[in-house]
Amino acid sequence: MFISIIHGDTQEFLVNINCNVIHLLDYLKQRFQLPMTDTIDICDKNGSLKYLFLITNFFERAANGLTPHETYYVCKIVRGEPGFKHGCCYKKIILMLSNADPKITDALRAQCDLLEKCRLKLLRAYKAKQSAAHDMRIHSSSLTSQKMSRGALKLSEEEISNRNKSNNTRILHSKISDSLRKDKYKL
């Protein structure tokens, strides 16, 4: 099962999609001499991204999301630098084609804006959950300290800390599994 990749000045090559997504993306990065840290994806003739870079299980088969014998273009996803005000934001999507059709570039621009809106929405939701968990820990520790002061509980500070750590770990594992489940159904 193969797909056709068009790049540059209408140069074309075939790619076997009977492989893992990670191998396909790595091969395309090598072929275009891009650093392995760059984020890339492919889009069809209409400019619709295939979102291969968002797949959480990179060992998923590339053939599952791509149509054999179709033509695709390679796109480089440009993101902000981590640690800055707009770190990790989606800045633009560059089509690796010399003379790109304006319809395709417009479609990619719209998808970049949508990716950024989704990223911000997820970030706000994560921060809200994190804040709620922090408030719950503070409330829980204040109740525990009140009970300890009355002599109802005879726990040492180390035991309280261990209980809070295990509770935090449980909350974190729950958030990760929920996020992975949601990502699986999105793709």
Q: How far apart are CA 13 and CA 24, in angstroms?
A: 13
pLDDT at 181: 58
As separate numbers, helices (DSSP H) first and strands (DSSP E) second, the chain gives 3, 5
Same domain, 18 and 104: yes
Q: How far apart are CA 37 and CA 185, in angstroms?
A: 26
Dihedral angle of Cα 182, 20, 68, 42, to the nearest 10 degrees: 70
Same domain, 175 and 112: no
Residue 139 confidence (pLDDT) above 70:
no
pLDDT at 98: 87
Residue 119 confidence (pLDDT) above 70:
yes
Q: Where is pLDDT greater, at 127 or 67?
A: 67
Place of tokens 């690796």: 96
Pairing of strands 71-79, 2-7: parallel
Question: What CATH code is carried by the domain that includes residue 83?
Answer: 3.10.20
Among 65, 67, 68, CA closest to 57: 65
pLDDT at 123: 86
- Express each pLDDT in 71-96 by its tens digit: 999 999 999 887 766 678 899 999 99
- Express each pLDDT in 32-65 by its tens digit: 999 999 999 999 999 999 999 998 887 899 999 8
- Among 101, 119, 137, the domain boundary falls at 119
Same domain, 126 and 58: no
pLDDT at 156: 54
pLDDT at 80: 86
pLDDT average, residue stretch 150-170 = 53
The domain in which residue 64 lies consists of 2-119
177-183 CB contacts, 8 Å cutoff, 24+ apart: 180/56, 183/54, 183/56
Q: How far apart are CA 180 and CA 25, in angstroms?
A: 21
Same domain, 133 and 110: no
Q: How many domains does the chain have?
A: 2
Same domain, 23 and 91: yes
pLDDT at 104: 94
- The pTM (predicted TM-score) of the whole model is 0.67
Same domain, 151 and 89: no
pLDDT at 187: 45
Same domain, 107 and 54: yes
Same domain, 155 and 173: yes
Q: How far apart are CA 156 and CA 118, in angstroms?
A: 44
Residue 180 confidence (pLDDT) above 80:
no
Residue 143 confidence (pLDDT) above 60:
no
Q: How far apart are CA 172 and CA 75, in angstroms?
A: 34
Percentage of residues in the chain having pLDDT higher than 90: 49
Q: How far apart are CA 7 and CA 107, in angstroms?
A: 18
